[in-house]
Amino acid sequence: MPHSNSRTILMNLSITIRREPAAKSRRPDRRSRRARRRGPSPFTPGAILAPLALVTLVLGLGCQIPGNGRDRLDEAISNDGSATRFQPPDPNPRITPEDVMAHVRVLTDERMDGRRAGSAGERLARDYIARVMASIGLEPAGADGHFAAPFDFTAGISLGPDNRLAWTDVGGAEAPLQVGTDWRPLAFSTSGEIAASPIAFVGYGLVAPATGDTRAIDDYRGIDPRDRWVLAFRGLPPSLDGPGRQALQRHASLRHKAMIARDRGARGILFVSGPLGRYRHELVPLRFDASLAGTRIAVLSISDATAERLLASGLPRGASRHARPLDLAALQRAAARRVVEARPADAPGSGTKNASGAAAFELGNVLLGGQIDLETRHATGYNVLGRLRIGPDTSRETIVLGAHYDHLGHGEGSNSLASGDEVGRIHPGADDNASGVAGLLEIAADLADRRDRGEF
């Protein structure tokens, strides 16, 4: 089953609990969903903050305890894929793993199609959740008396019509580069005109403090990248493993490296995979990662062939014009060795001066400039909001419990951890975050039942 990390949160399901006088519309004689409880609740009602303690416990049940719940699936989703025939399941005496799993199985059913934000599957999930909220007696707290509350979000990014890049050699000859073949901007790149600027090579572009497993690393040592492009290898050296790799992992993301370049004053950063890189595609795919934070500099991926052309056209500034041309593979091997050994750039054997070393240097005789044009796509999403009023006294305090109900669809965009034949398949999102939604719905039902029985 494809998985994802849990950084993407676009949609929310929220239940608002207020301590207020009972609404006139409440039906005191209503038989609650759990009115046939055959024993005390596993949770002890107390102060109004007590529901916060329930969240962790019930989410644990939803994530870890299996149950089939299959007999309730067809009650929730009709054969034609709509949720219009949803009927609340028969009441159980208490919150059980089976209750939680019943919701999880509905939300991860293939007809939900991965619940990608803005998709038909997400709308189906939204309708299901609203019907559950209504069935347990929550008040709509969304827009215009409904459970749904719309909001706008950035749904994706694509190349605009005006992307161009060219390098200029010492003789003034300009060589255009083809977007999508020779280079591609990353989603968190800035857009706009980039003046023709020199290029500085910075190895793997790592800047990291010393740890118990590595010495401090600064691949920018000896170079001033201000108003220049920096050229860096992607990721970490394949030969780096064990604790050393783990210690540097968080410093190796493309975004982190780009922000280091920005903070050092660079005009842009060029990422190259290199012949040692173990990547399916030389060019980094243009994928929106749901983060609203840009880097405010140009962030480009270039092919190995493009990097070789740039290196062949320029030599380290100050080098003899008779020096051997720079070799990408040799540079990557030296850069990898320096990271693995975690030696500072001026340590013996690190190659600070020679053309095949991995220390930072500026390429002479070559400039790079152009235009970056990225277009963002906007869409409307919906939170699902239900309110539960508790207690006889008016209070200004509101407790908001939330869980996001969308997921990754078929893994389009970023954040999917699918590999091999899992790529492109439905991402059900049981743990991200159908289990959280299921636990929250069960908490709401339990609280509504205890309120109606006068426990608080």
**Domain spans in the chain, listed from the N-terminal domain onward:** 13-154+378-452, 162-372
Alpha carbons 75 and 105: distance in angstroms, whole number: 12
Alpha carbons 137 and 39: distance in angstroms, whole number: 22
Q: What is the pLDDT of residue 10?
A: 31
DSSP string, 18-56: EE-PPPTT--TT---TTTT--S--SS---STTHHHHHHH
Q: Is the CATH code 1.10.30.50 the one for domain 162-372? A: no
Q: What is the pLDDT of residue 422?
A: 85
Alpha carbons 161 and 311: distance in angstroms, whole number: 29
Q: Which pair of tokens denotes residue 89?
A: 């399941």
Q: What is the DSSP letter of 430?
A: I
Alpha carbons 364 and 141: distance in angstroms, whole number: 63
Q: What is the DSSP letter of 317?
A: T
**Where would I find the beta strands (DSSP E) of 257-332?**
268-272, 298-302
Q: Which pair of tokens denotes residue 139?
A: 């008040």
Q: Which pair of tokens denotes residue 182?
A: 């020779």
Q: What is the pLDDT of residue 95?
A: 87
Q: What is the pLDDT of residue 320?
A: 52
Residue 194's DSSP bridge partners are 370
Q: What is the pLDDT of residue 213?
A: 66
Tens digits of pLDDT across the chain (456 residues) = 454 433 222 345 555 555 444 444 333 333 344 443 333 333 333 333 333 222 222 221 222 222 233 334 444 555 454 444 445 555 555 788 999 999 999 999 999 999 988 889 999 999 999 999 999 999 999 999 999 999 988 878 999 999 999 999 877 889 999 999 999 999 999 999 999 999 999 999 999 998 876 788 999 999 999 999 999 999 999 999 888 888 899 999 999 999 999 999 999 999 999 999 888 899 999 988 766 567 899 999 999 999 999 998 876 766 555 456 789 999 999 999 999 886 444 444 333 333 333 489 999 889 999 999 999 988 898 999 999 988 777 678 888 999 999 999 998 766 788 877 888 899 999 999 999 999 999 999 999 888 888 887
Alpha carbons 45 and 60: distance in angstroms, whole number: 19
At 161, which amino acid appears?
A: P
Identify whether the C-beta of residue 442 lies closer than 8 Å to the C-beta of residue 104: no
**Where would I find the beta strands (DSSP E) of 348-446?**
361-372, 374-390, 398-403
Q: What is the pLDDT of residue 290?
A: 64
Q: Which pair of tokens denotes residue 289?
A: 């990662």
Q: What is the pLDDT of residue 349?
A: 39
Q: What number of helices (H) and strands (E) belong to the chain?
A: 9, 15
Q: What is the dihedral of CA 444, 12, 110, 6, to 10 degrees?
A: -110
The helix or strand, by DSSP H or E, that contains position 329, with its residue range, turns out to be helix 328-341
Q: What is the pLDDT of residue 343?
A: 44
Q: Among residues 139, 145, 167, 122, which one has the least CA distance to residue 18?
A: 139
Q: What are phi and psi of 148, to 5 degrees?
A: -80, 140
Q: Among residues 367, 360, 355, 305, which one has the least CA distance to residue 325?
A: 355
Q: What is the pLDDT of residue 330?
A: 93
Distance between first and last Cα of the chain: 42
CA-based torsion, 427, 433, 434, 435: positive or negative: positive
